[in-house]
Chain A
Amino acid sequence: MSALIFFLLLGTVLLFTVCVGTLWWMLHAWRTPENYESTNFATDSVSSQRSFSIIVPCRDEPYEVMTATVQRLLDQTHSDVEIVISVGDDDVDTVDRARMLAALHPQNIKVSVNSDPVKNKPRQLNSALQLCTGDIVGIIDAESLTAPGLLDHIDGTFQLTGADVVQGAVHLINYRSRWFTLRNCLEYRIWFRSRLHGHAVSGFIPLGGNTVFVWRHLLEEVGGWDDNCLAEDCEIGVRLSALGKHVVCVYDPALTTLEEAPTTVKAFIKQRTRWSLGFMQVLAKGEWKKLPSWQRRMSGWWTLVQQYAMALAGVLLPIAFLTAIAFSLPTGIVLTTYVPLIPLMLTVIFEVLVLREFGRDMNFKIGVRDYILLVVSTPFYQGMLLYAAVAAVVKFRRRNFIWDKTPHTGTHLNVFATSIINPPAEGAKA
C-alpha cells in the first residue's frame, strides 16, 4: 500500500508539472498584452521586394482540391510568385493533374516529379527545391486555401524583422465534420495562435509543415529536408534553431491558411501516429542537443516529448484520482491527486474561450452544441491521442517508418463556401 501511495504521489507531482507546463505554453498569446500584440503586427509600411517559390506537395489528391489550392496561390496580390507542384512518379493520376494545371498556367506553374524508390514528403520537397528560383521558398500543402494577401504580408515580415524563417498560421476549418474534428481544429488554433509564438520567443521551434517560408539559400545551405524523417517540418525547425536562426511567427486571422482536418478516426490516428513517430525520430536524432544553452535544450526536449506526456497525463490523472478513491487511501492522498486535475480542468475551461475567439475571428457561428461537444469529447480525444502515441512507440521499436499519408476529401471547401473567411478588422471586434 505504501508503495502504491509513493508512486501515486510521485506521479501526481510529475503530472502536475506536465499540466502546468502545457497550460503555460498554451496561454502564451493571452498571457500579457505584450505577447498578444506581438503575435500580429502590420506590414503595410513596406512594399514587396522578394520573389517567392511555393512548393505544393501532392499525392493522391482529388482534382478539385488541387485546383482550389493552386487557384488561391495564383490569386495572391504579391506579383512575383512561382508555383512548384511536387508529385511522385508512381502516382500517375496526380502527375497528370499537375501537368494539366501547369499547361493552363505555364508562366506560373512548374511540376517536379520525384523518382526516388522510397516515397515520402521530404523527398518530394527536396526534388522540388531544385526547381525553385525565388528568393524565398514556401510550402503550401495540397489541401490548403491561402488568403490573397498572405505573401505580401510574409514578404513584409521578412523585411521588418530580418527573419530567417517565417511561419504563417494554419487553421483547420471543418469543425463540424465529425465529433473529433472540433477538437482537432481547436488544437491547430491554439498551436498557431498562441503556442508557436511562445516557442519562437524561447528560441526553439518545431516548424509546421504548411505555410512556412525560408530563404532558399538557407535551405540549400542546410541540405534541405531530412529524407527519412516523418516529421520533416519539425526536424528542419530543430536544425535551424540549433544554428541560431531567427524564426518569426505571424498570426493574422485574415491571413490564415485554411486546411482540412482528417475526417475518419482511422485517418486521424494514422496522421497522429505519423507525427508522433516523426517527433520520436527527431528526438532520437539528437539535433536538439546542439542548441546553444541548457535552457533551450530543456525547452527543446520538453517540446518534443510534451505531446506524449500530455497524452499520458490526460488519461493517467483521472485514473490516479479514481485509484486513490477506490483504494480508500487517506483523505490527504486523495486530495493531493486532485491538485493536478486543477490545471487539467483549467485547460478545458480556457479552451472554451479559445473556441469562442476562434469563432469570432473566422466568422463561424459557434453554438452551445459546439461548446458542449468540446468539453464532452475531451476524454475520448485524449484516448485517441494516447492510442496514437502508443502505436507510434510500437512502430518506432519495429523501425517502421513508412509514410502513411492522410487522405484529403475536400470538406474544407464546403465550409469555406458557406462562411465568410475575411473577418472584420481587428479593432471592430474587441
Chain B
Amino acid sequence: MTAIQDTTPIVPRAVAPPSKTKQADPHRWSYRLLRAIPLILVLTLVAVLYGVNLHGYPEFSNDDEGTYFAQAWAVANQGVMAHYTYWYDHPPLGWIQLAVLLTPLQWFWSGDGIPVQTAGRGVMALIAVISAALMYKIARHVGLPNYVALVAPLVWALSPMTINLGRQIFLDNIALVWLLACFALVTGKPKLQYHIAAGAAFGVAVLSKETAAVALPAALVALWVSSWARTRAFSFVGFLGTGALVISGWLLFAIIKNELVPGPGHVSLWETIVWQLHGRGSAGFMFTDGSGANNILKGWLGLDPYLVTAGMLLSFVGLFFRQSRGIALVPVVYLVVALRGGYIPGMYIITPLPFFALIIVYLAWKLWHTASFRSRGAVKWTGRVVVAGLVAASVFAVAPSWASKSFRAVTENQNVPYQEALAYIDSNLPRETTILTDDNAWNELVDMGWSSDGWSGPLWHFKLDRDPLEQAEHLPGGWKDVDYIFTGRAMEVFVGGEILGIENAPQAHAALSHSELVKAWGPVGQQIRLLKVNPDMDPVDPEWMRLNPEEAPTAAITP
C-alpha cells in the first residue's frame, strides 16, 4: 500500500540514543544557518517590500482598514470587541490578534505626522514575512527542491496586487497566514499531531475571517493525499474535531453574551449570518460586463493581470497531480464560490494569491523535471530549452512592471494630502467638536485627543443612519448636531453613491448637503475635504460640490 509497509519490520528501538558523530552533522546550528541563508535573503526582501513606506503606500482609501484598526484599538484600550456595538459582522479573532501585536509594533511604525494606522500595517508586514516562510515550507513539502521552492514566495510577494492588498489592514491577510500554516502542517510528514495542529490553525483562520472556510475542501484533499492510509481516520477526526471545537468558541462567545439568537434590544449572531448569506446584495455574475463582480474582477486584473490569469488557469492543470491537488483546489473552490453570485469583497482575491504562485512554480518545475528525467538526448534538450524559454519569457514580460510597482510601493508617498489635512485639523479644530468622518480618520482623531465614544468626537458616517437608538441618545438633533465633516479618501468615494445616498443615509446626506467647504487637499475628484455643517444654509448637491470645490460655498474657521 505504501512504502513503509514494504520495508522490513521496525523493531522497537533501544532506549539509549545512538552516539553522535562529530563530522558533517546536518543538525549542527552553523550548518543549518548556512543552508538557511537564501531563505533569509528572500524573507528580508519581503520584509522590505512590505515594511518600508507603510504610511505612504497604498492610499488610506479603504474604510475597512480603519474599521479593523479601530476595533483592535477598542479591544486593546477599552476591553470591548469594537468601537461601536459589536454585531457579529465578522468573528473577532482577527482584530484581537491585531490588538495583541499592535503595542510592540507601534514602536517601529510611529512618528511625527505618520498616521497611527501605520502600525496596523506593520502587523501586516510581519504577517507577510511569516506567510512567505510558510509558502516556502509548503513548496518544499510538495516536492520542490530547495532553490525552486524559494521562487514561490518571491512570485507571490513581488506581485503588485499582493503588495497593494498585503500592505493594508485586512482580516483576509490574517486569515491567510493561518491558512498557509494549516497547509504547511497538512502537507508535511503524516504525523497526527501536525494534523491536529492544522485543524486548530484552520479554526483560527476561519475565526480571523470567515471566508477562509471556503478552503476547507482543499485542505481536506491535501490531508487525504498526505495522510497515511491506516491512520487516515485519526487524521481526519483530529483535523475536523479540533477545527470545529476551535470555531465553536465563537458560538460560545455569543451564547455567553446571550446574543446567539435574535431577541429584543440586542444584536445576534444568527441575524448577522442570515444577513451575510442572504441579505447582502448580489454582485452578479463575474463575467457579465458591468456587474459588481465584473468590476471587482477588472480591478484585480488592473492591479496584476499576470498572476491572476496564469495562476487561475494553471490551477486547473494542478488538479491532475497528486502532490499539488490540494493547493490547486484552493483557487478553484474560491472561483466556484465567486461564480455562484452573492456578495464578493475586493479582498476576496487575497487568499488564492499565494496558491496561484505555488501552483505556477510547481508546474514549471514539473515540466522541467519531466523534460529532464523522462526523456533523452535531443528530446531532453529541446524540452529543457522550451521550458527555460517559457520561464525567461514570463520573467521578461512581468519583470519591468512588477519592478517599477515594487519600487513605487517602497518610495512613493500617496498620502501627502491626507497627512497635511490631518495636521491642519490637529492644529485648528477644537477637541469638543463632533466630526462626521470615515473609520480611518476616526483613529487619527481619537489619537489627537477627540472623544472615543463614537458620537461626541469622530463619528463614523456609517453609524449616523444605521444605529438609530444610539444616535437618538447621543445626537438628539440628528445631523444638525454634527459640527464638521472630514471626508478622507475612504469617505470621499461614497459621496454621491448609494452608501451615502439620500435613501440609505438620509441623515448623512442631509449633513453633506448643508455644509460649506473649509479646506480641500489633493486633486479635484480625488480630494480630501474638511466641511463645516451649517443647518441654516440652502442645501447643495454633495456630488456637485465634490466635483466643483472652487464654486462651493465656503466657510472660514478660527482656531
Contact = CB atoms under 8 A, between A and B. Distances in A.
A33 B252 contact: no
B1 A331 contact: no
A297 interface: no
A33 B245 CA distance: 26
A36 B228 CA distance: 10
A33 B4 contact: yes
Nearest to B236: A353
Contacts of A50: none
Greatest chain B CB density within 10 A among A32, A160, A334 is at A32
A33 B228 contact: yes
B238 A350 contact: yes
A221 interface: no
B256 A33 contact: no
Nearest to A341: B245
A63 interface: no
A217 interface: no
A365 to B, nearest CB: 18
B22 interface: no
B233 A353 contact: yes
A37 B9 contact: yes
Interface in B1-50: 1-2, 4-5, 9-15
Contacts of B252: 334-335, 338
A342 B230 contact: no
Contacts of A342: 242, 245-246
Interface string A189-200: 000000001001
Interface in B223-248: 228-231, 233-234, 237-238, 241-242, 245-246
B257 interface: yes
A41 B9 contact: yes
A200 to B, nearest CB: 7
Interface stretch (A10-18, A243-251, A260-268): A243-251
B10 A32 contact: no
A246 to B, nearest CB: 6
Interface in A273-328: 325
A334 B252 CA distance: 9
Given A331-B253, A335-B253, A346-B242, A201 B13 contact: yes
A42 B237 contact: no
Given A41-B10, A346-B238, A349-B237, A36 B191 contact: no
Contacts of B5: 37
B420 to A, nearest CB: 40
Given A346-B245, A350-B237, A350-B238, A37 B4 contact: yes
A252 to B, nearest CB: 12
A27 interface: yes
B376 interface: no
Contact of B11 (A32, A38, A244, A350): A38
Interface string A27-53: 100111110111001100000000000
Nearest to A41: B9
B189 interface: yes
A328 to B, nearest CB: 9
Contact of A33 (B193, B230, B233): B230
Interface residues of A, number: 38
Given A38-B10, A201-B13, A246-B14, A350 B234 contact: yes
A351 to B, nearest CB: 10
A348 B76 CA distance: 36
Given A38-B10, A353-B233, A325 B190 contact: no
A118 interface: no
Given A350-B237, A353-B237, A30 B231 contact: yes
A419 interface: no
B260 interface: no
Nearest to B232: A430
Contacts of A34: 4, 10
A32 B12 contact: no
Contacts of B231: 30, 33, 36
A161 B11 contact: yes
Contact of A41 (B11, B190, B246): B11
B530 interface: no
A345 interface: yes
B192 interface: yes
A203 interface: yes
B230 A42 contact: no
B87 to A, nearest CB: 16
B207 to A, nearest CB: 11
Contacts of B246: 342
Interface string B494-528: 00000000000000000000000000000000000
B196 interface: yes
22 contacts: A31-B191, A32-B190, A33-B2, A33-B231, A36-B231, A37-B5, A37-B10, A38-B12, A41-B9, A41-B11, A197-B12, A246-B14, A249-B12, A330-B79, A331-B256, A342-B245, A346-B196, A346-B238, A346-B242, A349-B241, A430-B229, A430-B230
Given A27-B192, A33-B228, A350-B238, 12 more contacts: A27-B193, A27-B234, A31-B191, A32-B190, A33-B2, A33-B230, A34-B10, A160-B11, A342-B246, A346-B242, A350-B234, A430-B230
